[in-house]
């Protein structure tokens, strides 16, 4: 299969590109490296030093004997070049990771909000128009987020909801209550893609992904030049990464609010497998298919307790600190999201065991000299007033 990976230099894009290449697919990457620019703008860096994309591709060829092509293109701004890339490469499928991935980044200012929504929504629209014009049978695998749903007081279905109102029934996209401008951009993506399926007979798999943790895959561990990013900072970092870095650094684990926020999560190796399952089992022409992509649910306080337990097993003194929540989110809420479709296709979940967490601790300890403790504490408020 010929697979074009948009955003293939990123945290998930790069491991996905290597994984698909290792499985015998012909892979090409499209990226404009803007994520590295955003990191520089807000003054944060991944814990593990990341090689340039050219170095990564060369190292992958040395390690595996397999080639990955790459194209430099801003898919949101340069539609002409992007259409040419799609037309020349002639992919069977496009995996779309090329979006600004941070809710806090989108809430910093008006400019950050606009850059997030313009980049994400325009990029997806340009992808849709390219495929509609060149070959509508190309399968779009789009990375969405469970955050699109928010935390409704009903069970979350996989994308669609059967409703009855005033004696009539219909099937509609599940209602969305996103908590940030970033999550809103993903909602717009989903609506646009579903429209493209209805209007242009496109075929789309929308992967509403939970929080991903981990950095080690069978490919990244083969050479340090193949590493992917590990963010723990308050803008691009995720909660489990932050907690483990805080535990290693001797800093109390910062729990926003009462820690009752509950989220779906999955290991990075399961993300790669989910992409593969979606590619190998494409939807019908005109079908907008939604998979809720996570394997377990945890509350923030529950994660903190797990990190504390494993940290203490490793001889670390791990404490917890509750603090004001700068985000506009419910900390006590109902959360029951369905996530059966990928397991039906063959996903065998990798669970967050103590051993998996110990591996993450060991990775962080190996790069502890790179930890910037000043980048951990949140400074961005959803009310648009900076935290003091």
10 within 8 A of 194, measured Cβ to Cβ: no
Nearest to 174 by CA among 192, 150, 209: 150
45 within 8 A of 37, measured Cβ to Cβ: no
- Rg of the chain taking only CA atoms, in angstroms: 20
Catalytic residue chosen out of the listed positions 35, 142, 186, 341: 186
Q: What is the 3 state secondary structure string of the chain?
A: CEEEEECCCCCCHHHHHHHHHHCCCEEEEEECCHHHHHHHHHCCCCCCCCCCHHHHHHHHHHHHCCCEEEEECCCCCCHHHHHHHHHHHCCCEEEECCCCCCHHHHCCCHHHHHHHHHHHHHHHHHHHHHHHHHCCCCEEEEEEEHHHCCCCCCCECCCEEEEEECCEEEEEECCCCCCCHHHHHHHHHHHHHHHHHHHHCCEEEEEEECEEECCCCCCHHHCHHHCCCCCCCCCCCCHHHHHHHHHHHCCCEEEECCCCCEEEEEEHHHHHHHHHHHHHCCCCCCCEEEEEECCEEEEHHHHHHHHHHHHHHCCCCCCEEEECCCCCCCCCCCCCECCCHHHHHCCCCCCCCHHHHHHHHHHHHHCHHHCCHHHCCCCCCCCCCCCC
Catalytic residue chosen out of the listed positions 11, 19, 149, 182: 182
Nearest to 120 by CA among 97, 105, 99: 99
Is there a catalytic annotation at residue 186? yes
Cα 18–chain centre separation:
17
Is there a catalytic annotation at residue 61? no
Whole-angstrom distance, CA of residue 213 vs CA of residue 271: 10
Cβ atoms within 10 Å, residue 202: 25
Catalytic residue chosen out of the listed positions 16, 145, 205, 271: 145
Whole-angstrom distance, CA of residue 272 vs CA of residue 14: 10
Is there a catalytic annotation at residue 182? yes
Question: Where in the sequence numbering do the catalytic residues fall?
Answer: 145, 182, 186
């Amino acid at each position: 299969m010929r697979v074009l990976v948009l955003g293939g230099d990123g945290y998930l894009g790069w491991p996905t590109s290597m994984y698909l290449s290792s499985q015998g697919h012909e892979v090409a990457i499209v990226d404009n490296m803007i994520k590295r620019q955003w990191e520089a703008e807000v003054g944060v860096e991944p814990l593990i030093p990341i090689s340039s994309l050219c170095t990564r591709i060369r190292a992958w060829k040395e390690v595996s004997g397999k080639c990955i092509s790459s194209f430099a293109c801003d898919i949101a701004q340069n539609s002409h070049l992007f259409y040419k890339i799609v037309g020349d490469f002639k992919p069977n499928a496009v995996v779309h990771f090329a979006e600004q991935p941070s809710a806090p980044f989108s809430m910093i200012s008006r400019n950050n909000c606009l850059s997030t929504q313009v980049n994400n929504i325009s990029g997806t629209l340009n992808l849709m128009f390219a495929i509609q014009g060149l070959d509508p049978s190309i399968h779009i695998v789009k990375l969405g987020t469970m955050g699109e749903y928010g935390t409704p007081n009903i069970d979350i279905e996989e994308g669609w909801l059967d409703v009855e109102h005033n004696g009539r029934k219909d099937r509609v996209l599940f209602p969305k209550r996103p908590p940030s401008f970033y999550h809103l951009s993903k909602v717009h993506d989903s609506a646009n893609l579903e429209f493209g399926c209805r209007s242009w007979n496109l075929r789309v798999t929308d992967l509403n992904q939970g929080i991903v943790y981990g950095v080690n895959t069978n490919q990244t561990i083969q050479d340090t030049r193949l590493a992917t990013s590990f963010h723990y900072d308050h803008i691009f970092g995720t909660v489990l990464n932050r907690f483990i870095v805080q535990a290693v650094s001797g800093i109390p684990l910062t729990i926003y609010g009462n820690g009752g926020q509950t989220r779906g999560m999955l290991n990075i190796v399961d993300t790669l497998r989910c992409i593969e399952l979606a590619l190998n089992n494409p939807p019908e022409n005109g079908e907008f298919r939604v998979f809720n992509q996570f394997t377990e649910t945890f509350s923030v306080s529950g994660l903190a307790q797990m990190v504390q337990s494993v940290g203490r097993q490793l001889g670390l003194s791990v404490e917890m600190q509750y603090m004001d929540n700068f985000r506009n989110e419910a900390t006590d809420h109902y959360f029951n999201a369905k996530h059966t479709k990928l397991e039906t296709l063959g996903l065998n979940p990798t669970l967050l065991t103590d051993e998996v967490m110990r591996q993450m601790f060991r990775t962080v300890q190996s790069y502890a000299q790179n930890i910037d403790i000043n980048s951990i504490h949140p400074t961005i408020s959803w009310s648009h007033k900076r935290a003091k």
